Amino acid sequence: MTMINAYAPDAAGTLPERERALIASRERLLGPAYRLFYADPIHVVRGEGSSLYDAEGNRYLDAYNNVASVGHSRPEVVEAMARQAAVLNTHTRYLTDGILDFAEAFLAEFPAELSHLMLTCTGSEANDLALRVARVHTGGTGVVIAHNAYHGVTAALAEMSPSLGAAVKLGDHVRVVPAPDGYRMPEAEVGAAFARSVEEAIADLREKGIAPAALLVDTIFSSSGVFTDPAGFLAPAVEAMRKAGGLFIADEVQPGFGRLGTHMWGFARHGLVPDIVTVGKPMGNGHPVAGAVFRPEVIEAFGKSQRYFNTFGGNPVSCAVALAVLRVIKEDRLQENALAVGTEMIDGLRALAAKHELIGDVRGSGLFIGVEMVRDRKLKTPASEETARVVNGMRQRRVLISATGQEGHILKIRPPLVFSSEDAKLFLATLDEVLTAL
């Protein structure tokens, strides 16, 4: 399967010699499964704040990398990492203070019902652990996910990540439901329609003798197309799963940590308290740290019957990094910045939609925005080819975004939380220029 916004190897002849040599070395040393972004890949050598720099020193405005949530090379995070690494780094089978200091601060950001934290290295590991716990607690194995979802790269999670492509087969215990598309149906109907789909999926699982274990959703439906509104639409589907004996696992790996502006977590926009929350990516600003937060009653049976150990999950360096990231988000009021700058961007994008027919819909919350590109606004026909041209046109003008959705026709805009009003203005001006050129 061709990845959205992927470099095509047959375009190598147009690249400078140095980049061609790097690509050849990747293929020789790393094998065939890796992919690069953009028709003309970028050779990055440095990052700072909302900027990346190439080997020639050219600056690129980063409007895509949510991993570096508090900005590339954030000094407080780098310092915390180096300071702890110089003292101690070990595993969780010894008594250490750092993991407790972080857990105390981190759990304070969640509803009181969610009071146990387990740490991993990646979001994939966190989702894998969440599924293990859900199966023990419910006795079921069936999982309901959204259309074109992405939840991870372990064998278990790849079977629940249709965005990886048709070559990665979904598990027999997995059911996919249509995305909650408020662009193609009245917003007032989104919640009921999504809940009906979940109920139908549960019924189909039971018909095949499979008991439901969980509804697993990324709370902003990142890979499905970025679906945010109306706030609260997710609640009826969660109620349907719980009524069937399953749990609600909120995958906050992409939308979490204040990115949505209005709330720290995507589930909170919907007025929900999940049974399990998984986190990762922006948690360490690029350092591999992730985890899962549980209701105590959900993890009780798992903890009594099984032990969990992850050699690197929860190590003192990772905990120091995660605590530094959390402190920067709180002290620099980055959630508030996400709301202010994100609102400016959404308003600006809607103004561009009045000028450019290619923009069919603008949706999002804070600094997580989807722009659906269509060839015909009445028919809402996906403009996949044009979207690829926009993404690569932005890259040529040194502004980095990507695309999402099964047809690859939705601009995915997800910058670091330090994105400024000046950054937003540059982004909007560049997009206007690219759309005009089309």
Beta-carbon contacts of residue 185 (< 8 Å; ≥ 6 apart): 193
Q: What is the pLDDT of residue 13?
A: 63
Q: Give per-residue pLDDT as tens, 332-354.
A: 999 999 999 999 999 999 999 99
Question: Average pLDDT of 264-275?
Answer: 98
Q: What is the pLDDT of residue 250?
A: 98
| Confidence check: pLDDT of 189 > 60 | yes
| Confidence check: pLDDT of 36 > 90 | no
| Confidence check: pLDDT of 1 > 90 | no
Q: What is the pLDDT of residue 295?
A: 98
Q: What is the pLDDT of residue 125?
A: 98
Question: What percent of the chain is predicted at pLDDT more than 90?
Answer: 90
Better-predicted residue by pLDDT, 76 or 17? 76
Question: Average pLDDT of 207-217?
Answer: 98
Question: What percent of the chain is predicted at pLDDT more than 70?
Answer: 99
Cα dihedral 324/327/333/335 (nearest 10): 80
Q: What is the mean pLDDT of the chain?
A: 95
| Confidence check: pLDDT of 427 > 90 | yes
Question: Average pLDDT of 178-198?
Answer: 96
> How confident is residue 359, by pLDDT bands cut at 50, 70 and 90?
very high
> How confident is residue 3, by pLDDT bands cut at 50, 70 and 90?
confident
**pTM summary value:** 0.95
Burial class (CB in 10 A: 0-12, 13-18, 19+), 10: exposed
Q: What is the pLDDT of residue 2?
A: 62
Better-predicted residue by pLDDT, 414 or 6? 414
Q: Give per-residue pLDDT as tens, 287-326.
A: 999 999 999 999 999 999 999 999 999 999 999 999 999 9
Question: Average pLDDT of 140-151?
Answer: 97
> How confident is residue 122, by pLDDT bands cut at 50, 70 and 90?
very high
Q: What is the pLDDT of residue 12?
A: 63
